[in-house]
Structures are given as structure tokens and as C-alpha cells.
Structure 1
Amino acid sequence: MYLNNPNIKLPQDPDTIVWKYLDLSKFLDLLLSQKLFMSRSDKFEDQYEGTFSEPTFEEIKKLSTNNPDFLNYYKTHREKVAISSWHINEYESFAMWQIFTQNSEGLAIQSTVKRLQDALVPEKNHKQFIGEVNYIDYKKEYIPFDDLFFPFLFKRKSFQYEREVRIITDVTESTIKLNDGLKINVDISQLIEKIYIHPKSENWYKNLVIQLVTQLGFDFEIEKSDLESDILI
């Protein structure tokens, strides 16, 4: 379960398909620990992660004139928020394979928005939400700041290809200290609907993944990506 936040939007259809592309070591860590790793928001490659657009920043600066702690809070809040990113797409994405898997030994988890919601285990010490990312022009468009999660649900238009849904965890009200991130408890059987093997991988690799998954007691449907299937001419 996750906390419902009426300010945060999600795709209307709960069966909207989402994907996570990752390498074998991260996948095995997920299965062995039954915990999902989430990256600290200020550790992402995008330096704008968790920051505000220019119009919003100018407004916050004015509000901070007599209260510098107001601006400092938003800066340090990034160190208290961790994110797990998922890609919305009805089909697997060739671009995502290239970006998020370093070699032919990667795989993709297929899930849905509802499965993400149902997979989250309630945590006493921190808040968790799921939201769809908005892609805007950071020089012109305004990001509202009446909800502390909004900065983490906006990205620059140049990242629009990611079509991202995020699980967001905020540990501000706990004593948890995030280094690179944190692992959260998840119901693996809910989280994973199907596994796709890298399109350039060999049969031995698919067989290895099937064997590992079976030995760990799971029975997910596992398929080889058909992006590299034989041409018909």
C-alpha cells in the first residue's frame, strides 16, 4: 500500500504498463533482499532533480528574503527524498534497453501502475507516494510548491522520452540517513508481472535467468525480447 495524495496525478488506467530496465546484479539483489533500491534524489545525473523552474525559484527567493531557512529547507530536502523510476510504455523500448543496460546481459521488469501501488509495504518511519512526472520548460513554466513532493514530479522537456512514473519516499520525519539511497520493502510477486531478457542476449543467458529465478522460489513469466527477432524477408 502507498499513501494517497490527491495533489499527485497518475495515469487514469491503473493497468497502464510500466517498465524498469536493469542489469542482472541489480535484479538478483531485488529478488534476494525482496527490497527495491531507491536513489537519493540529488544523486541522479540530472542536476536539476528536485529543484525548481526559474519562475518558481524567483518567487521562493522573494519569500526567503526575511526567512533564509525557507530556501535552505528546499535545498536540504533533496537529501531526504529517494526515487525509483519506471517507464510508461505499452511495449518495450529499444531506447531504454540502450540507456539503462550496459551490455547484452540486462533485463526488463514489466509491471503496471496498480501493481506498483499494491507492491509497496506500509512503512511507519517514512511517507511513500507514486506519481507521474510532468515535463516542462524550466525557463518559462511554473512549478507549484504548496506540496513538498512537487519538485520531484517535474523534469525538463528534454527528458520527455522517459515517460516516467516514480515511487517517491520521504524520510524527513524519521532518523534514517540516506547515503546513495535506501531499500524499501516490496511484495516481489505483486511488483513483477513479467521479465524480458535483453534482445541481444544468447540462449544460455535466458536459461541462466530462468534457473536463478526458479531456485529463488519465483515463477515469473520470462521471455526473450523480440526486438532482435529474425526478419521475414
Structure 2
Amino acid sequence: MYLNNPNLKLPEDSTIVWKYLDLSKFLDLLMSQKLFMSRSDKFEDQYEGTFSEPTFEEIKKLSINNPEFLNFYKTRREKVTISSWHINEYESFAMWQIFTQNSEGLAIQSTIGRLQKALHPEANLNQYIGEVNYIDYKKEYIPFDDMFFPFLFKRKSFQYEREVRIISDVADDTIKINDGLKINVDINELIEKIYIHPKSENWYKNLVIQLVKQLGFDFTIEKSDLESDILI
């Protein structure tokens, strides 16, 4: 479900999104039919799930007589997991470079509507889909009247990511999360099309096609458009 708040941009269902990953992670997704969600405090960005300076100053004032209020927000990052997707009508050369380490990566193409339909409601999880807002953490305010808001804001230096997120909050405190957790998804709904790394060889594309078929799936698999033949 979407966060319904006028301060947040909500993408249309038809918005195209991408996830760039290596073959091993892709096969794990197909075989387990579960989507891996990274624990929010394990991201490379140390500001992940934190507040901007104006918001933090307000929270500190509210915590003067209630120190547990601030501690709650600090520990909450350990209970929130995230799956990141890239909004773009087309492939992104930069995303290939950042998220695939060699020529054997691939990209899942989907849409916001497909992500929404692919999620299976789970008793222990509160799940949302939201587009990330990029702000100046020294000047701009992050609302905290909803628990998910801190995870839908990032610093402006990350604008190139154009990120939309699936966010899962572990409501059941007995669940232990190490680096993250896996959630059940409808694979056929999640994946609309697969693109093979632009620098991969033909044998690699054929291998991916064969593996996908053996696992019982029938996705459209294409070579990246970034390495198409030059026409003169």
C-alpha cells in the first residue's frame, strides 16, 4: 500500500522501475520466490533512516521529559528493511556501472503497479511502497508523524538514484534481523522483463534463458539496448 500524505510524491502505477543485480542474487530470487530486504541501518549511507537537523532539534525538545522517545527512533532502524528500485523509463548506464560488478549482471524491469500486486500481506510485517524525496538535511524538515517518513527522505547528493522503495517494518519484536530478511512475492507479477548486461557475451544471455526456463518461468529476456549495433 502507498503512504497517503500530501508531502510525498506518489508514482503512478504505470511508472517503470528497475532493479540491477548479479546472476546469483537473481537466481536466489527465482528459486526462493522471496525478495531480499536490506536492514536500513546496514546501508552504506550512514544517514539512512535518520532525521534532518531541523527535525532532530524538534525531537530533542520533545525528548527532554521523555528520553525513551528519542531512543525509540534510534533503535527503529534495526526493525525496518528496504528493497530499492530505480525509476526510469529507460535503462540507466550509471546503474549498470554502480550495481553490477562485471559483465554478467542483469536488470529486472517492472512497474509500480506490479510491485504493489507482487507483495503478499504478512502478519508480522507492515509494508509500504513510496518514492524517496531528496532534501537538504541542514535546512529542510522531515515530518515524523508517520513511522515510515524517515526512510523516504535522503540527501540531495543521492538524487541520481531516483529511488522508489518497498519498506517492511517488523511489527513482531521476536523476529531477529541480521543483514535483512526475505519476504514472499509473486515472481511473475514482480518481473515484467529481464535485460542482460550490455557488455555480456551471447553465451551468457543463452545461459540466463536456459536457467529461467528450467526454473519454470517464461519472462521476456533481452540484451541491453545500450550495446546495439551502430547504424551508418
Do Structure 1 and Structure 2 share a fold, with TM-score over 0.5?
yes
Matched-pair identity in %: 86
Note if contact 2:35-2:185 (Cα within 8 Å) is conserved in structure 1. yes
Which residue is 1:5 aligned to? 3
SS in 2 for 1:109: strand
Looking at structure 2, the residues matched to 126 and 223 of structure 1 have their Cα atoms a distance apart, in angstroms, of: 35
Looking at structure 1, the residues matched to 204 and 214 of structure 2 have their Cα atoms a distance apart, in angstroms, of: 15
Note if contact 2:3-2:130 (Cα within 8 Å) is conserved in structure 1. no
Query: Which segment is superposed worse, 173-182 or 89-98?
Result: 173-182
Note if contact 2:2-2:130 (Cα within 8 Å) is conserved in structure 1. no
Runs of 4+ that moved beyond 6 A: none
SS in 1 for 2:141: coil
Note if contact 1:38-1:182 (Cα within 8 Å) is conserved in structure 2. yes
SS in 2 for 1:127: strand
Looking at structure 2, the residues matched to 18 and 4 of structure 1 have their Cα atoms a distance apart, in angstroms, of: 16
Which residue is 1:197 aligned to? 196
Which residue is 2:98 aligned to? 99
Looking at structure 2, the residues matched to 94 and 18 of structure 1 have their Cα atoms a distance apart, in angstroms, of: 14
Note if contact 2:196-2:205 (Cα within 8 Å) is conserved in structure 1. yes
Looking at structure 1, the residues matched to 125 and 166 of structure 2 have their Cα atoms a distance apart, in angstroms, of: 13
1:10 counterpart letter in structure 2 = L
Which residue is 2:229 aligned to? 230
Looking at structure 1, the residues matched to 2 and 115 of structure 2 have their Cα atoms a distance apart, in angstroms, of: 13
Which residue is 2:209 aligned to? 210
CA deviation digits over 1:130-160, x for unaligned, max 9?
0010000000000000000000000000000
Looking at structure 2, the residues matched to 219 and 58 of structure 1 have their Cα atoms a distance apart, in angstroms, of: 52
TM-score scaled by structure 2?
Answer: 0.97
In the TM superposition, residue 66 of structure 1 has moved relative to its aligned partner by 1.1
Determine if the alignment matches structure 1 residue 62 to structure 2 residue 64: no
SS in 2 for 1:18: strand
TM-score scaled by structure 1?
Answer: 0.97
Looking at structure 2, the residues matched to 66 and 219 of structure 1 have their Cα atoms a distance apart, in angstroms, of: 59
Note if contact 2:84-2:165 (Cα within 8 Å) is conserved in structure 1. yes
Looking at structure 1, the residues matched to 2 and 55 of structure 2 have their Cα atoms a distance apart, in angstroms, of: 25
Note if contact 1:126-1:174 (Cα within 8 Å) is conserved in structure 2. no
2:54 counterpart letter in structure 1 = P
In the TM superposition, residue 9 of structure 1 has moved relative to its aligned partner by 4.1
Mark the runs of 5 or more structure 2 residues left unpaired by the alignment. none
Note if contact 1:197-1:223 (Cα within 8 Å) is conserved in structure 2. yes
Looking at structure 1, the residues matched to 2 and 124 of structure 2 have their Cα atoms a distance apart, in angstroms, of: 16
Note if contact 1:132-1:153 (Cα within 8 Å) is conserved in structure 2. yes
1:6 counterpart letter in structure 2 = N
